[in-house]
Structure 1
Amino acid sequence: MRILSQAVLSGILAFSTAWVNAGGLETLQKFNADTDGISGQFSQSVKSKKRTQTTAGTFAIQRPGLFRWEYTQPYKQIIVGDGNTVWLYDQDLAQVTKRAQNQTIGDSPAAILSNKTALNANYSLSDDGSSNGIDYVRALPKRSNTGYQNIRIGFKGENLANMQLKDSFGNLTTITFSKINTHPQLNRAQFKFTPPKGVDVLTQ
């Protein structure tokens, strides 16, 4: 599995629109309480000691429990969470990986997106200063088995700017968001996935 795929399963992640005069933490908490759906575009980079990989695509999230993350560049790949199962379809490999959703996302940032109670239950949150006009919140996992050292969520003005996720191996995933819509018209059918004919389906 490509490293970016694992990053996004663990990094599908805490999107938001900031409120005027609110600090990063207050903004994130308000988003977590009030937002039921979100969509937009993303660019993503995963930086390891040896190389940096970049991708781009689109996403959609509907609470509770539904998400769709599509890579469009430089390859095509789809990750869908339907509330029970996470499906990862790699078109180049003609392969689908199927996993139980509660076991896949656990305490990950994906859980923050799809379930309102996960944020405060699984992370210790604090304001983390500002840089280049972006206000940051730091999320530290309360348990040591999440795979992440820390997550930083950045807001610029009224919009989410980026997320930075540092994993237990020291790899840094940065996701930059654009064209955010916090009131998307989403159809539940968008979060259904049927493996195409002829592809290998692996269950993990």
Structure 2
Amino acid sequence: MKKSLLFVPLLAALALPAHAAAVAQLKAFVAGTRTVSAQFEQTVTSQGRQERAHGTLEISRPGKFRWSYAKPYEQLIVGDGKRLWIYDKELAQVTSRALDAALGSSPAALLAGDNAIEANYKLREAGKQGGVEWLVATPRQADSGFSSLKMGFSGNTLKEMQLTDSFGNVTDIRFDALKKNPPLAADRFRFAAPPGVDVLSE
């Protein structure tokens, strides 16, 4: 299940009323948040099996992000505004492709891209569960790579995301130590392949 790791760059604390509905909080986040840093825990469930991963993420909107997996194996995904770089340390391999083509209407585009949320997604409230306000974002394009995305907010903070792909695999991402608009150095979103690593460009 290693290749199910997502390059979904995701999220931050929101300066909104504590009881604002989830859709309103998402719109305010996209409109008012330029940079994000957070820690995350990811669980991928596929055919009854689960795989967990941990790491950190950073976002500089629009189009720049750094999504780093530390456990159980190292993988780095960097969007520099023009290209998407995926570095698999174990395989000693880098894959690079045009950022626009790689993101499309993916969750990465939703959070690190422009403000056209409702142009690419149908949004609806999904109610409150366990103190968390949920929304469902359904992509308008069939080739987005996932069938639905749920986002949960609590106390002005995006706490969790749940993604279901076209094969029924479910990825749950929980966030911790979220920071909104932290200062992030520009070189965090640049990538240079380590010496001796194969680079595959598309």
Q: How many angstroms apart in 1 are the aligned matches of 2:120 and 2:11?
A: 13
Q: How many angstroms apart in 2 are the aligned matches of 1:91 and 1:118?
A: 34
Secondary structure of 1:178's partner?
strand
Q: How many angstroms apart in 2 are the aligned matches of 1:98 and 1:200?
A: 11
Structure 1 gap segments, 5+ residues each: none
Q: How many angstroms apart in 2 are the aligned matches of 1:12 and 1:33?
A: 16
Q: Deviations over 1:128-186 (max 9, x none)?
A: 11111110011011122212111000011221110000000000000000000002111
Q: How many percent identity over aligned positions?
A: 42
Q: How many angstroms apart in 2 are the aligned matches of 1:14 and 1:38?
A: 6
Q: How many angstroms apart in 2 are the aligned matches of 1:152 and 1:183?
A: 23
Q: Deviations over 1:60-116 (max 9, x none)?
A: 000111000000111111000001111111111111111111110100011011223
Corresponding residue to 2:20 among 12, 16, 22 = 22
Q: How many angstroms apart in 2 are the aligned matches of 1:74 and 1:141?
A: 30
Structure 2 gap segments, 5+ residues each: none
Secondary structure of 1:25's partner?
helix
Q: Is the 8 Å Cα contact of residues 136 and 155 (structure 1) preserved in structure 2? A: yes
TM-score where L is the length of structure 2: 0.94
Which position in structure 2 is the counterpart of 1:12? Answer: 9
Quick one: structure 1 residues 195 and 115, their matched pair in 2 at CA, closer, same or farther if it must change by over 3 Å? same
Q: Which amino acid aligns with 1:125?
A: L
- Please give the root-mean-square deviation of Cα atoms over the aligned residues, in Å: 1.5
Q: Which amino acid aligns with 1:2?
A: K
Q: How many angstroms apart in 2 are the aligned matches of 1:19 and 1:122?
A: 24
- 1:118 deviates by 3.5
TM-score where L is the length of structure 1: 0.93
Q: How many angstroms apart in 2 are the aligned matches of 1:152 and 1:63?
A: 21
Q: Does 1:162 align with 2:190?
A: no
Q: Which amino acid aligns with 1:36?
A: R
- 1:117 deviates by 2.2
Secondary structure of 1:110's partner?
helix
Secondary structure of 1:42's partner?
strand
Q: Is the 8 Å Cα contact of residues 18 and 24 (structure 1) preserved in structure 2? A: no
- 1:13 deviates by 3.5
Q: Is the 8 Å Cα contact of residues 14 and 153 (structure 1) preserved in structure 2? A: no
Secondary structure of 2:147's partner?
strand
Q: How many angstroms apart in 2 are the aligned matches of 1:28 and 1:183?
A: 15
Which position in structure 2 is the counterpart of 1:78? Answer: 76
